[in-house]
Structure 1
Amino acid sequence: MTLVQLKHFVVLAEAGSFVQASKVLYLTQPALTRSIQGLEDELGGRLFDRLGRRIALTPFGQEALQRARRLVADAEALKQTGKGLHAGLIGTLRIGLSSGPGALLSVPLMLHMGEHHPRLQLQISRGNTSVLVDALREQQLDAAVLDVRSVRPAADLAIAQVFELAAGFLVRPDHPLVQLGRPATIRDVLAYPIASTPLSDEVARILIGRYGPQANPDDMVTLRSDETLTIVEVARQSQAIVLTAHAAAPGLVPLRMAPALDATARFGLVTLSQRQEAPALRILREWLGRWVVQNGAA
């Protein structure tokens, strides 16, 4: 068994056909077939079911794919480590950003990389927390900055550099509830559309603890999106109320509430605990630490 065979296996599983995988690998189909058959012989089981021109992973193939991806990714990370530094770190850094971190970090991170590490290939993937955690486990990402309240504790995940940002109900400066002359109640708020990204169970408990069952996000939130920028823009153009981190909503103002919400959004850097880190990940760690300090995050 060789790393080349494992790479052939991973590419074939992702491509779904020998024709497409051969094009990606610049191999002839007979050569790819021999490589896969040799791997199957050595592993002692079929990796794919052949369904005419289509293929499908066998149960054994599905289990083997996870390990093969890990080995191929670790080998690539080792290769990048060997290349080292030359006119700025070279290689690829694949980062996942969930909704809130995506709105806050995407642009400044890309600006920083473009200015200080122009030869480093930065790939940012956006998505909800569960999708990005799955991508992390499948070795498709090197790290992800996520809403850590939504990350289920697991032995294979490491969470570091956790920071908090003030969060709450935000509205346009000319919103009728700003003109009340008194803090708004939850009853006042419920008279308007409320926009939010998916909220963790912990945040739901905080809201219900402050304002009662009527503040359950399942019932209270009427405009839902996985994208923070979308719900913020809706609030800018309407009388909708958005529930998000203050820093993610420039141009909006926090709504004074009675009782005060005093909530925070909690984000952190998530990696696989047993995986060798991509060399460039140290750049992200250093940059994120500076960003947190500069933006007054706790």
Structure 2
Amino acid sequence: MTLVQLRHLISLAETGSFSKSAELLFLTQPALSRSIRSLEAELGQALFDRLGRVSELTPFGHETLARARELVQAADELRRAGQRAAGGLSGRLRVGMGSGPGALLMNPLLQAVAQHGPGLQLEVARAGTELLVQALRARQLDALVVDARSLRPAPDLHLQHLHELRGAFMVRRGHPLAKRRRTLSFEEVCAFGLASTPLSDEVCRVLVERYGPQAHPSHSVTLRCDELPSLVELARHSDTVLLAIRAAAPDLVELRLTPELAANARLGLVTLARRTEAPGLSLVRELMSGLLRDNLSPSPTRRTP
């Protein structure tokens, strides 16, 4: 028994004529007759009484027609669901984000999915890279957007769509350090307190190379938090210096240090290798391409006249 045979049954029941149904189905009349006879043989019961040129459903035919319509309708809905999922418009998408990507992507992603209506269900998790990778491997998440520098390479992880964003020391406008006319030392910056999210080993190495052992975050960072937006708000309303992705706080003033920081984050999309892609992931890629970029060039320390 096939869906094609069931569609033939439905058509013949509606027209009552082999010739009319064959024409509507773009079949020859003998081909339609063979299809119906084959279905009747499989079911072991006649579906139609042939009354001259008219074919009428038998009692068993009426019962079969109702079930055939249910099956065909369910199959059509399943096909439409697959088409919607292929276009990223339905299903469930579970994304984990590190602190930096979350600050840049979470709200735009929520808004973009909301525009698609209720067909696409989105869940966003925020945590450190190690916990997010554990959730990905446990199939609790479908994809991650994290700093690739904090990701341990592994054969079961597929990293793609990398975007490099530079880090910077930033303060509020009107901050005492923003008014100085020269480049600053790391010690001057730390005198006001340094805030950051947990930093990758690569960034820690760069800090120590640039500014000495005292620059390691375990010594220099006084305020550490996984939620970058909270740290940005702190820097906006206090004298704390923020070390973070420059693009996460475009309204803050970037400080110039000697030597320059020259440390970048490499944000990428992580999925499990050889796993079917979750619906809606193309939307995440699109947002990453549009938002994970440095729109601000390095700027000198703000000066007063």
Q: TM-score, normalised by structure 1?
A: 0.68
Alpha-carbon separation, structure 2, partners of 1:115 and 1:273: 30
Deviations 1:92-139 (A, max 9, x none): 111111101111001111112222455211111111111111110000
CA contact (8 A) 1:158 1:271 kept: yes
Q: Which residue of 1 aligns with 2:83?
A: 84
* 1:153 corresponds to 2:156: no
Q: Which residue of 1 aligns with 2:94?
A: 94
Q: Which residue of 2 aligns with 1:174?
A: 174
Alpha-carbon separation, structure 2, partners of 1:231 and 1:286: 27
Against the structure 1 CA distance between its residues 110 and 296, is the aligned structure 2 distance closer, same or farther, given a 3 Å change threshold? farther
Any unmatched runs of 5+ in structure 2? 1-77, 298-305
Q: Which residue of 2 aligns with 1:209?
A: 209
Tell me how far 1:82 sits from its aligned partner. 6.0
CA contact (8 A) 2:88 2:281 kept: no
CA contact (8 A) 1:80 1:91 kept: no
The residue correspondences of 1:113-192 to structure 2 (distance < 5 A) are: 113-116=113-116, 118-192=118-192
Partner amino acid, structure 2, of 1:84: Q
The residue correspondences of 1:199-238 to structure 2 (distance < 5 A) are: 199-238=199-238
Q: TM-score, normalised by structure 2?
A: 0.67
CA contact (8 A) 2:88 2:280 kept: no
Deviations 1:221-245 (A, max 9, x none): 0101111111111111111101001
Deviations 1:184-211 (A, max 9, x none): 1012112111001111111011111111
Alpha-carbon separation, structure 1, partners of 2:270 and 2:117: 22
CA contact (8 A) 2:162 2:269 kept: yes
| Greater radius of gyration (CA) | 2
Partner amino acid, structure 2, of 1:104: L
Indicate the SS of the match to 2:256. coil
Tell me how far 1:290 sits from its aligned partner. 3.5
Against the structure 1 CA distance between its residues 293 and 252, is the aligned structure 2 distance closer, same or farther, given a 3 Å change threshold? closer
Partner amino acid, structure 1, of 2:98: S
Indicate the SS of the match to 1:238. coil
Against the structure 1 CA distance between its residues 81 and 128, is the aligned structure 2 distance closer, same or farther, given a 3 Å change threshold? farther
Q: Which residue of 2 aligns with 1:8?
A: none
Against the structure 1 CA distance between its residues 296 and 269, is the aligned structure 2 distance closer, same or farther, given a 3 Å change threshold? farther
**Identity across the alignment (%):** 49
Is the deviation greater in 163-172 or in 275-284?
Answer: 275-284
Tell me how far 1:81 sits from its aligned partner. 9.6
